[in-house]
Every structure is written in C-alpha cells, then in structure tokens.
Amino acid sequence: MFVMQPRRSGRSRKRDAEVRLLGSNLPAGAQLASDLHQATGGRLLNFEWALTDLGDASQGCALAVNCAPIGRLPKVHTTPWFPEVPCPAEIFVYDLVYNPQETMFVRQARSRGLHTARGKGMLILQGTLAIAQWFRCRPPVEAMRIAAQREFHD
C-alpha cells in the first residue's frame, strides 16, 4: 500500500481531502475508498501498483507515504517507487519502514534532492501512546528512543 496526498492551494478541509492509493489488492482499495468517504466525505482514488498508474497518481502530489513492508529487512534492496517513474519535484517522502533506518526508497528520494522522514519516529510515538493508554502513566520517551536506536541500528 502506498498513499499520496495531492498538493492543494489554500487551506484544505477534512471533507475536501483526496488520497491516492496504490496497491496490489484493488478490491481492498475500493473498500478503503468507500470507508473513507463514509467517515469523512473525502475521496480516495484507487490505482494499481504499476508503472503507468504510479506516474498518473503522483502528478501534483505533495506527500508520498510508503505504508507497505517494501524495503524492510531482509529485502532492503526493494523500493515502492519504480526508478523509471520521475518523482514530482517538491514531493515529501515518508517511509514508515523503520528497519533498516534508511531504506532504498529514502535514499532514492534524497538522491533526487527531496525531503524525507523515516518510520522510527512514528514507531516510538505509537509506543508512547500505547504505554500512556494502557498503563495510565507518562512514558519514558527518551529511554524508548535510545532503545529503538540500539535495536534498529544499521
């Protein structure tokens, strides 16, 4: 699953949201589109994960998020972005994969001068929220960050 958010001019509202989803399971994407529309009134455009669809879906996008395990250990030489498809000039790339810390997708984006974010921060924040909810305490965020760094080093 690979999600892209189109660039918007001016302020956008939740009901105006449009998300472009690329995936290998088109029926699941169609269900997700329906669920998103019912919950928010927003639109989800469903594309097949293919060269031409990636090129079409990425036009005018400001954000690309890899939500799939592509690039995760042990298949670190894989990337969700086909090298033949140019990236939009100002797209921000967010790879939710946290191991390895720098995926091929992130390296691809940086080599093209794009801004990126990696998944380890999200992993830590999800953990802190879970601890706060389950144990009703303030999580040790810095200790969790250090432990994640130690566990998921390259």
Q: pLDDT tens string for the chain (154 positions)?
A: 566 676 665 555 555 667 888 988 889 989 988 898 888 888 888 899 898 999 999 888 889 999 999 999 899 999 999 999 988 888 999 999 999 989 999 999 999 999 999 999 889 999 999 999 999 999 999 999 999 888 887 5
114: left (phi over 0), alpha (psi -120 to 50) or beta: beta
Residue ranges making up the domain that contains 147: 120-154
111 & 148 share domain: no
List, in sequence order, the alpha helices (H) in the chain.
26-40, 51-58, 104-111, 120-135, 141-151
Cα 90 from Cα 108, distance rounded (Å): 14
Please report how many Cα atoms fall inside a 13 Å half-sphere around the Cα of residue 7, on the Cβ side: 11
In CATH, what number is assigned to the domain containing residue 80? 3.40.50.720
Number of domains in the chain: 2
Find the radius of gyration of the CA atoms of the chain: 17
Q: Can the peptide bond before residue 74 be classed as cis, meaning omega within 30 degrees of 0?
A: yes
One domain, residues 93 and 141: no
Residues 11 and 87 in one domain: yes
- Is the domain of 113 the same as that of 88? yes
Q: Are residues 151 and 90 in the same domain?
A: no
* 131 in the same domain as 107: no
Same domain (yes/no): 108, 135? no
